[in-house]
Chains A and B, each alone.
Chain A
Amino acid sequence: MQKPAHWRSADNRIGLAFIAPFVVAALVFMVYPVLESVRMAFYYIDPLNPDAQRFAGLANFETVLRDPLFWSSMGNAAYWTFTSIVLQTVIGVGLALLLHLPLRGISIFRGLLLFPYIVPTVVIALCWQWMLNPEIGIVNQVLRGAGLIDANIYWLATPDMAMLSTIMLNVWKYTPFVTICVLARLQTVPTELYDAARVDGAGVLRRFTDITLPQLAEVLAVVVVFRTIWTFNKFEEIYLLTRGGPGTSTYNLAIYSFEQSIANLRMGAGAATGVIMMAMLFLGSILYIRLFRFQEDA
């Protein structure tokens, strides 16, 4: 598309004026903090006295990488992320297929899907705390009433159950994200494909594996990469429910970084953890950009 000549010269200044605030804001609020966090990783910084900083060299990285808690946090984060993503993807696709059915009133259900996304994490964490309360929480009461358990389950006070509880919270909140992306893609699959397959005698399962899945492959790849990056770095979803506990059994890297900075007053070590997270994020993003082709309007 070619623009008339008089556009370019006369009002290019307006174009630059319009982009200027973004450039300033991006430099101050995005670029600077990221660069600053890299710098901080090489200094000793006490959050109570942030002006007194001493150069630390690689000492912060050494501290972090030698800390068994760092590695167990990494392990937890990997386990948490993997389990959450598998559940979100499987349930999310199933839900999308269900919501794709041409049923009366289905749009109400589709709209409802977004609800978990808008609920503050603090609120969900409070609700979960209350529902999972060992003595008077509804979950244990119902399980007891149904005769499924004899002793109360300590959902948030035993390591395995605490991990499971945070995963449930995460799956509850973010499965709709997968569903909505998949649903949007499903609506663009040409129905002729299914008609043709039906004529050829393909059953429901066959139509799913031969038509639906290949059509969804691309969007699923994008969604999974996206969700993996975000889930791996989540802080509030775990911290507000378990504070990383009991003990340190639900620590992930974000909580580790937070506790180094706040509880141990070692912002440098916290920042070093952040830099390691960013390095992993960077690798993830490269993967993402390769998967997701920009349609440039050159």
Chain B
Amino acid sequence: MTPMQRVRATRWAGLAAAYAALVAITLVICFPLMWALSTSLKPKQELSAPPTMIPHAPTLENYRHLLTGKSQYFGGGSADYQPSTAPPQYFLGWFGNSVLVSVGSTIISIVISTLAAYSVTRFRYRYRMAVPYFSLLGYMVPSIILVFPLFIVMTNLGLTDSLWSLTLGYVSTTLPFCMWLLWAFFRGIPVELEEAALIDGASRLRVFWEVVLPSALPGIIAAGIFSMIVSWNDYLFARVFMNTVEHYPLTVGVMLFFEGVHVDWGLMMASAVLMTVPMAVLFMLLQRHLVAGFGAGAVKG
């Protein structure tokens, strides 16, 4: 081999190693969900057979159970099941609850933090820097500390077991980091354009609506996605606040599938897949904004 060939050979080897590592990482990241998908498409008999990634006889039976609510546990189903405390006929309801509370709390957090971020970065008043500092501290406070005092607040307001308790409760976790992220984002928006518009005689509110909001949109979207993810994924608040099966969001509801005598893995994996789909779709549509959010240093995890 000439030296040139040797250099080229090591380059190729390096490249191959790098791509091999990347593929391995992709597998580690994707496998749990791929396996859930695969399991959810298998008929019951196949679950205890030697595992294969591609089901031999793929079936949508598990999804049918979840979505049609024709439970296999009650009335006319196969007799080999103990009735679970949470038959799948509630699944769609839980799904709807999750959508309502995560969208609701996200809207509240976003509106409040967008207004506040504008105020803090464009007006001068005393203690305004307390807002970002406070938010930073706020988003380090663990949910386990907030959940019981908030439970008592909700009890006093008569809101326990209602979706409002979750919608409002999630504001306590999503608001601090929306605030922090949008504060960082608004600081980066140049004020010259606004000043020009103001000097031209546009009103402050009009400038906010027509000049500031459009340029802040990427930050608002990023904060919104993070907020959606956090509220959609929450288990603790819902577990403490809600008592009625029909009022559960997905996270708490799906965990009930564990409490039957017989764990139906196919059904569980189907619900795991369906529960991830909305977040995965958001994720794919808005990946760029997500990365922007990470860049602004604001993410709760």
CB distance from B273 to the nearest CB of A (A): 8
- Using C-beta atoms within 8 Å of the partner chain, give the interface range for chain B: 35 or more
A285-B140 contact, Cβ under 8 Å, with A19-B131, A136-B47:
yes
Q: Which of B198-241 contact A (CB under 8 A)?
A: 198-199, 204-205, 229, 232-233, 235-236, 240
CB distance from B145 to the nearest CB of A (A): 4
Q: Are A33 and B142 in contact (CB under 8 A)?
A: no
Give chain B residues whose Cβ lies under 8 Å from the Cβ of A240.
Answer: 235, 255
Q: Which of B102-118 contact A (CB under 8 A)?
A: 108, 111-113, 115-116, 118
Q: Are A21 and B141 in contact (CB under 8 A)?
A: no
A-B contact count (CB 8 A): 254
Q: Are B116 and A127 in contact (CB under 8 A)?
A: no
Residues of chain B having any CB pair with chain A under 8 Å: 15, 18-19, 21-22, 25-26, 28-30, 32-33, 35-36, 39, 47-48, 50-51, 108, 111-113, 115-116, 118-125, 128-129, 131-134, 137-138, 140-146, 148-153, 155, 168-169, 171-172, 175-176, 179, 187, 191, 195, 198-199, 204-205, 229, 232-233, 235-236, 240, 250-251, 254-255, 258, 265, 268-269, 271-272, 275-276, 279-280, 282-283, 287, 290-291, 294-295, 299-301
Q: Are B141 and A19 in contact (CB under 8 A)?
A: no
Measured CA separation A197–B224 after assembly (Å): 43
Give chain B residues whose Cβ lies under 8 Å from the Cβ of A33.
Answer: 145-146, 149-150, 153, 172
Measured CA separation A141–B229 after assembly (Å): 33
Measured CA separation A226–B177 after assembly (Å): 13
Q: Are A7 and B198 in contact (CB under 8 A)?
A: yes
Q: Are B125 and A16 in contact (CB under 8 A)?
A: yes
B299 in complex: contacting residue of A7, A21, A40, A177, CB < 8 Å: A177
Give chain B residues whose Cβ lies under 8 Å from the Cβ of A294.
Answer: 132-133
A34-B146 contact, Cβ under 8 Å, with A95-B25, A128-B32, A240-B235:
yes
Q: Are A4 and B199 in contact (CB under 8 A)?
A: yes
Give chain B residues whose Cβ lies under 8 Å from the Cβ of A109.
Answer: 22, 25-26
Q: Are A32 and B149 in contact (CB under 8 A)?
A: yes
